[in-house]
Homo-oligomer: A and B are copies of this chain.
Amino acid sequence: MKHKSLDDAECPIARSLDHVGEWWSILILREAYYGAKKFDEFQKGVEGITPSTLTRRLKHLVDTGLFKRHRYSEKPERYEYVLTKCGRDFYPIMWTLMEWGNKYFAPEGIFIQLKNIKTRKAAIPFFADRNTGKEMLPKDYQIAPGPAASAALYTKIATSKQE
Protein backbone atom coordinates (compact mmCIF):
# COMPACT_ATOMS: atom_id res chain seq x y z
CA MET A 1 0.00 0.00 0.00
CA LYS A 2 1.30 3.36 -0.97
CA HIS A 3 0.12 6.50 0.66
CA LYS A 4 1.74 9.70 1.74
CA SER A 5 2.93 9.75 5.30
CA LEU A 6 0.07 10.35 7.67
CA ASP A 7 2.42 11.36 10.46
CA ASP A 8 1.55 15.03 10.06
CA ALA A 9 -2.12 14.37 10.58
CA GLU A 10 -3.48 15.35 13.96
CA CYS A 11 -4.84 11.88 14.50
CA PRO A 12 -3.18 9.41 16.87
CA ILE A 13 -4.86 6.55 15.03
CA ALA A 14 -3.33 7.62 11.70
CA ARG A 15 0.02 8.10 13.41
CA SER A 16 -0.11 4.68 14.98
CA LEU A 17 -0.89 3.09 11.65
CA ASP A 18 1.94 4.98 10.05
CA HIS A 19 4.38 3.61 12.58
CA VAL A 20 3.26 0.05 12.40
CA GLY A 21 3.24 0.18 8.62
CA GLU A 22 1.10 -2.64 7.35
CA TRP A 23 -0.41 -5.98 8.23
CA TRP A 24 2.87 -7.85 7.94
CA SER A 25 4.22 -5.72 10.75
CA ILE A 26 1.39 -6.76 13.02
CA LEU A 27 1.99 -10.43 12.28
CA ILE A 28 5.71 -9.89 12.98
CA LEU A 29 4.78 -8.28 16.30
CA ARG A 30 2.50 -11.22 17.02
CA GLU A 31 5.49 -13.55 16.63
CA ALA A 32 7.51 -11.32 18.96
CA TYR A 33 4.82 -11.81 21.61
CA TYR A 34 5.17 -15.56 21.03
CA GLY A 35 8.85 -15.08 21.84
CA ALA A 36 10.46 -14.82 18.39
CA LYS A 37 13.67 -12.79 18.27
CA LYS A 38 15.73 -14.13 15.37
CA PHE A 39 15.12 -13.59 11.68
CA ASP A 40 14.48 -17.31 11.12
CA GLU A 41 11.95 -17.43 13.93
CA PHE A 42 9.94 -14.59 12.37
CA GLN A 43 10.29 -16.18 8.94
CA LYS A 44 8.93 -19.47 10.25
CA GLY A 45 6.10 -17.86 12.22
CA VAL A 46 4.68 -15.50 9.61
CA GLU A 47 3.29 -17.76 6.92
CA GLY A 48 3.95 -16.58 3.39
CA ILE A 49 6.27 -13.67 4.15
CA THR A 50 9.27 -13.42 1.81
CA PRO A 51 12.76 -12.78 3.22
CA SER A 52 12.94 -9.40 1.49
CA THR A 53 9.61 -8.25 2.92
CA LEU A 54 10.62 -9.49 6.36
CA THR A 55 13.95 -7.64 6.14
CA ARG A 56 12.20 -4.43 5.10
CA ARG A 57 9.50 -4.71 7.76
CA LEU A 58 11.97 -5.47 10.56
CA LYS A 59 14.06 -2.46 9.52
CA HIS A 60 10.94 -0.28 9.57
CA LEU A 61 9.98 -1.53 13.03
CA VAL A 62 13.50 -0.76 14.28
CA ASP A 63 13.48 2.70 12.64
CA THR A 64 10.14 3.56 14.20
CA GLY A 65 11.22 2.36 17.64
CA LEU A 66 9.17 -0.80 18.21
CA PHE A 67 12.18 -3.14 18.11
CA LYS A 68 15.79 -2.62 18.97
CA ARG A 69 18.52 -4.66 17.30
CA HIS A 70 20.77 -6.63 19.59
CA ARG A 71 23.96 -8.30 18.33
CA TYR A 72 24.13 -11.79 19.77
CA SER A 73 27.00 -13.08 17.67
CA GLU A 74 30.13 -11.27 16.45
CA LYS A 75 31.48 -13.82 13.99
CA PRO A 76 29.34 -14.27 12.05
CA GLU A 77 27.60 -11.01 12.82
CA ARG A 78 24.08 -11.84 13.88
CA TYR A 79 21.30 -9.72 15.31
CA GLU A 80 18.12 -10.41 17.13
CA TYR A 81 15.10 -8.14 17.38
CA VAL A 82 13.94 -7.26 20.86
CA LEU A 83 10.70 -5.43 21.65
CA THR A 84 11.12 -1.95 23.12
CA LYS A 85 8.65 -0.54 25.65
CA CYS A 86 6.78 1.05 22.75
CA GLY A 87 6.66 -2.33 21.00
CA ARG A 88 5.50 -4.14 24.12
CA ASP A 89 2.83 -1.50 24.67
CA PHE A 90 1.31 -2.48 21.35
CA TYR A 91 -0.03 -5.67 23.03
CA PRO A 92 -3.51 -4.25 23.84
CA ILE A 93 -4.08 -3.71 20.13
CA MET A 94 -3.12 -7.34 19.56
CA TRP A 95 -5.49 -8.43 22.32
CA THR A 96 -8.39 -6.46 20.91
CA LEU A 97 -7.73 -7.80 17.40
CA MET A 98 -7.70 -11.32 18.85
CA GLU A 99 -10.99 -10.81 20.70
CA TRP A 100 -12.69 -9.29 17.68
CA GLY A 101 -11.41 -12.08 15.41
CA ASN A 102 -12.62 -14.74 17.85
CA LYS A 103 -16.02 -13.11 18.06
CA TYR A 104 -16.70 -12.63 14.36
CA PHE A 105 -14.35 -14.69 12.24
CA ALA A 106 -13.97 -18.02 13.98
CA PRO A 107 -16.93 -20.12 12.79
CA GLU A 108 -15.05 -23.34 13.60
CA GLY A 109 -14.51 -22.28 17.19
CA ILE A 110 -11.75 -20.44 18.97
CA PHE A 111 -8.17 -21.24 17.96
CA ILE A 112 -6.29 -19.09 20.43
CA GLN A 113 -7.24 -17.15 23.51
CA LEU A 114 -5.68 -15.44 26.47
CA LYS A 115 -5.51 -17.44 29.67
CA ASN A 116 -4.74 -16.33 33.16
CA ILE A 117 -1.52 -18.09 34.11
CA LYS A 118 -2.66 -18.90 37.63
CA THR A 119 -6.33 -19.76 37.21
CA ARG A 120 -6.02 -21.15 33.62
CA LYS A 121 -9.33 -19.48 32.88
CA ALA A 122 -9.82 -17.86 29.48
CA ALA A 123 -9.86 -14.09 29.87
CA ILE A 124 -12.99 -12.10 29.11
CA PRO A 125 -11.39 -8.71 28.53
CA PHE A 126 -13.20 -5.40 28.71
CA PHE A 127 -12.17 -1.76 28.85
CA ALA A 128 -12.38 0.11 32.10
CA ASP A 129 -11.61 3.73 32.96
CA ARG A 130 -9.19 4.44 35.79
CA ASN A 131 -11.19 7.54 36.71
CA THR A 132 -14.22 5.47 37.63
CA GLY A 133 -12.92 1.89 37.82
CA LYS A 134 -15.94 0.95 35.72
CA GLU A 135 -16.44 -0.46 32.26
CA MET A 136 -16.10 2.06 29.43
CA LEU A 137 -19.27 1.77 27.40
CA PRO A 138 -19.10 3.48 23.99
CA LYS A 139 -22.35 5.31 24.74
CA ASP A 140 -20.72 7.11 27.69
CA TYR A 141 -17.63 8.30 25.83
CA GLN A 142 -16.95 10.62 22.95
CA ILE A 143 -13.91 11.71 21.01
CA ALA A 144 -12.89 15.15 22.24
CA PRO A 145 -10.11 17.57 21.27
CA GLY A 146 -6.93 17.33 23.32
CA PRO A 147 -4.66 20.19 24.47
CA ALA A 148 -2.73 20.23 21.17
CA ALA A 149 -5.76 20.22 18.84
CA SER A 150 -5.92 22.90 16.14
CA ALA A 151 -8.96 25.08 15.48
CA ALA A 152 -9.74 22.94 12.45
CA LEU A 153 -9.77 19.79 14.55
CA TYR A 154 -11.99 21.45 17.14
CA THR A 155 -14.44 22.28 14.37
CA LYS A 156 -14.31 18.78 12.93
CA ILE A 157 -15.10 17.23 16.29
CA ALA A 158 -17.71 19.84 17.24
CA THR A 159 -19.58 19.28 13.98
CA SER A 160 -19.23 15.49 14.00
CA LYS A 161 -22.28 13.33 14.47
CA GLN A 162 -20.90 10.91 17.01
CA GLU A 163 -23.58 8.53 18.15
Binding site for B on A (CB under 8 A): 1, 3-4, 6-7, 9-19, 22-24, 26-27, 30, 33-36, 45, 47-48, 65, 86, 88-106, 108-132, 135-136, 138, 140-150, 153, 156-157, 160-163
Contact = CB atoms under 8 A, between A and B. Distances in A.
A88 B143 contact: no
B1 A27 contact: no
Number of this chain's copies in the complex = 2
Nearest to A17: B23
Contacts of A130: 124-126
A98 B144 CA distance: 12
A143 B91 CA distance: 12
Please give me the 9 A-B residue pairs with the lowest Cβ-Cβ distance, nearest first: A12-B101, A35-B161, A110-B146, A109-B148, A124-B130, A16-B101, A115-B144, A15-B105, A10-B111
